[in-house]
Amino acid sequence: MVKTMISKLSTSVVKCVVVGDGGVGKTSLLLSYTTGGIMTDYVPTCFDTYHVAMHVMDEDYTLCAIDTAGQETYDRLRTLCYYDTDVFIVCFSVEDPDSYDNVQSKWVPEIKTFRPHTPFVLVGTQTDLRGSLVDLTNVCITPAQGKKLAKKLGAVDFVECSALEGVGLDAVFRKTIMATLAPKKKRKFWESFRSVFRKKSVV
């Protein structure tokens, strides 16, 4: 996969909304991938948009990723971003069990309420904190737990990443783009099936 900043060569625009508790690393994930930058201090986000051109499966895409606020103060405002969304990234921090629990109790129910048929990718962030001093006071979420939750909630895929170390970022956004392709392929299959059926009926 080739990643560059937005260019006129991109042919398809994919709108992606990133959700999850405040402080789980949503902004760091987007900053690190799109600019190579790293957040050194936590600054609560209201709303920010990032654009990046990607080449996936021989096709060019412009990923329009919207970083949303996880705080309850923005609950009503945040949902305004959900209109016409192609795919969601639902984040939790592997060192924050509460953010993991909130995926099931808040984030997936919220996106399903407003976009019941829109695919989502579950992402475990801040994997660099596993084995650190933080891990001595918190029980980190394991990859197996992440995969289990993704399967239970109907996520297209589960990916872990570290914005600080730059690990897993390509996989996050590649799988995000690919999550939007499966429904399109399914629609094309049924359209072809119906077309063949109609032709046979006419004969």
Do 142 and 127 touch, CB atoms closer than 8 A? no
Cα–Cα distance for residue pair 169/199, rounded to 1 Å: 46
**CATH number of the domain where residue 95 is located:** 3.40.50.300
- Other beta carbons within 10 Å of 57: 10
Q: How far is CA 82 from the centre of its chain?
A: 13
Q: Residue 51 pLDDT more than 80?
A: yes
User: Taking residues 56-64, what's their average pLDDT?
Assistant: 91
Domains of the chain: total:
1
pLDDT at 48: 87
Do 54 and 3 touch, CB atoms closer than 8 A? yes
Q: Residue 68 pLDDT more than 70?
A: yes
In this predicted model, what pLDDT tens digit does every residue of 124-179 receive, in sequence order?
999 998 877 555 666 899 999 999 999 999 999 999 999 999 999 999 999 999 99
The boundaries of the domain holding residue 197 are 2-202
User: Taking residues 112-116, what's their average pLDDT?
Assistant: 96
Q: Residue 24 pLDDT more than 80?
A: yes
User: Taking residues 65-85, what's their average pLDDT?
Assistant: 87
Average pLDDT for the chain: 83
């399967």: which residue's tokens? Answer: 151
pLDDT at 188: 46
Model-level pTM? 0.82
Tokens standing for residue 126: 């801040």
pLDDT at 7: 43
